[in-house]
Amino acid sequence: MRVREESRTACGLALAAALTTALANVAFAGSVRRTGMDFLNIPAGARPAALGSAYTALANDTLSLAWNPAGLASLPGREISAMRSQWILGSQYSFLGYGIPSRTGALAGSIAVLSQGEAEARGEDRQKIGTVKAQDRALSLGYGKKLGRWRAGVSAKLLKSALAGYKASGFALDGGLLYPASPSITIGFSIMNLGPGMKFLEQRDPLPLSLAAGAAWKLPGLGLSVALDLKHQPYDRKTTLSAGTEYRLAGALSLRAGYLSHLAAPASLRAHSAFAGLGAGFGVLLGGYQFDYALVPFGPLGDAHRLSLAMRW
């Protein structure tokens, strides 16, 4: 009986693991999963997603915790931001952040959660024996400061993962720099998800370490911004190039579009969908409130919709 019970538990765990892997793989265009906590790669915020993830040099809000902590140094005032995304395969991704600037720098914290709902667990005889759940969380605390013309930032993350009753935890560090090369051009650099990895049961997987360099070109007279990002993920053996544009109309409405291209990746990445990598959306600024929407298509898997709301004062 004990052997049978362990077998059933293993079947349920395998099913949940398969769901987790599938979510991570299709979310990043079918990549071959080499790392753990792949949900850290999901773009936080509707604005960055609409820009094709070209946000390393544009980061200037609480979303900087997920892109480039140096952007926290550009916070003009207190800010609280929230994002809700109906992610693929019935999962949901949420982000909540709060930032406050001071004379000595800006401090911000956030929580990101990927909830993958329930999946049926079946035994060896294919009979339903219950349900399994999976959830990933990241709690971040970051600090950004202006150092002359440079802006620098660091953050630490507490990571937790739960899968079919099993749990794992870990931590990661992030860091970044921003440099305004001119009044209209900013360059940025970031290193994200630096840590010892996550051990789940008897297996330890590395975190999705990423190294990014970006540039942003703003033309205030035209209301136009153009951003480029080059990102390398050594453990996943991926290199991507992102490009995004934002056009601000009358100061209140912004239109956005972007594209993420895989320069070096497994063959399965490049054949996921004709629309893979595209992003589009808009933003509306009303007083101290910023509303953003983004649409990212995933071909036959459907579309991922993101809604973000930020309040600044």
**What are the residue boundaries of the structural domains of the chain, listed by start?**
2-312
Computed from CA positions of residues 291, 255, 107, 94, in that sequence, does the dihedral angle turn out positive or negative? Answer: positive
Burial string for 200-219 (b: 16+ CB within 10 Å, else e) reads beeeebbbbbbebbbbbbbe
In this predicted structure, what is the pLDDT of residue 9?
40
In this predicted structure, what is the pLDDT of residue 28?
42
Task: Name which of 41, 79, 85 is nearest 63 in CA terms.
Answer: 79
Q: What is the pTM of this model?
A: 0.81
Task: Name which of 77, 53, 66, 37 is nearest 256 in CA terms.
Answer: 53
Within 75-165, strands assigned E span 79-86, 92-102, 105-122, 128-147, 150-163
Q: What is the pLDDT along the chain (313 residues), one digit of tens a residue?
A: 433 444 444 444 443 444 444 444 444 444 445 677 888 988 899 999 999 999 999 999 999 999 999 999 999 999 999 998 876 666 788 999 999 999 999 999 999 999 876 666 655 666 666 666 788 999 999 999 999 999 999 999 999 988 777 888 899 999 999 999 999 999 999 999 999 988 777 778 899 999 999 999 998 788 999 999 999 999 988 899 999 999 998 778 999 999 998 886 555 555 455 567 789 999 999 988 999 999 987 655 567 789 999 999 8
How distant, in Å, are the alpha carbons of 45, 193, 256 from that of 196?
Answer: 26, 9, 36
In this predicted structure, what is the pLDDT of residue 178?
98
In this predicted structure, what is the pLDDT of residue 152?
98
Pairing mode of beta strands 166-180, 150-163: antiparallel
In this predicted structure, what is the pLDDT of residue 201?
73
Q: What angle do CA 40, 26, 162 make, to 5 degrees?
A: 45
DSSP β-bridge partners for residue 232: 211, 239
In this predicted structure, what is the pLDDT of residue 24?
44
Residue with tokens 């099993």: 166
φ/ψ (deg, to 5) at 248:
-95, 125
Helices (H), the chain: 2-27, 46-50, 64-67, 267-270
Q: Which two tokens stand for residue 224?
A: 């136009």
Which residues are CB-contacts of 192 (< 8 A; sequence separation ≥ 6)? 40, 67, 172, 174, 209, 210, 212
- Report whether 214 contacts 64 (CB < 8 A): no
At the top level of CATH, the class of 2-312 is: mainly beta
306 Cα distance to chain centroid: 12
